[in-house]
Amino acid sequence: MKELIETNYKSIIKRGLINKKTTSNDFIMKLEEEVQEFIEAEKYNLKNENEELADIILVCLNYAKHYDIDIEKELKNKITINTKRND
């Protein structure tokens, strides 16, 4: 997973879409855009919903990488919490 995150992050930096000045709000706006594209793909049966879902996940992974969040650890922690829930 770490290789996937690093490769994607570097590709987005290379394209100039992320830099040292990229803010949390920039990521949130991009995430909103990608979620909207996913909704539209589903709503209009555009056949690209899988790609749009991947875009959402990649934005989240880029956020984690940008802010030095160990997302793999956080995912494991959250799965542990979810397996213990009774609701």
CATH code of the domain containing 76:
1.10.287
Q: Domain range holding 7? A: 2-84
Q: How many domains does the chain have?
A: 1
Q: Which residues contact 68 (CB under 8 A, 6 or more apart)?
A: none
Per-chain mean pLDDT for the chain:
97
Take residue 6 and report the two structure tokens written for it.
Answer: 């690093």
In the structure, what pLDDT confidence band is assigned to residue 58 with cuts at 50, 70 and 90? very high
In the structure, what pLDDT confidence band is assigned to residue 25 with cuts at 50, 70 and 90? very high
Cα Rg for the chain, rounded, in angstroms?
15
In percent, how much of the chain has pLDDT > 70?
100
Phi, psi at 4, each rounded to 5°: -60, -45
Indicate yes or no: pTM above 0.75.
yes
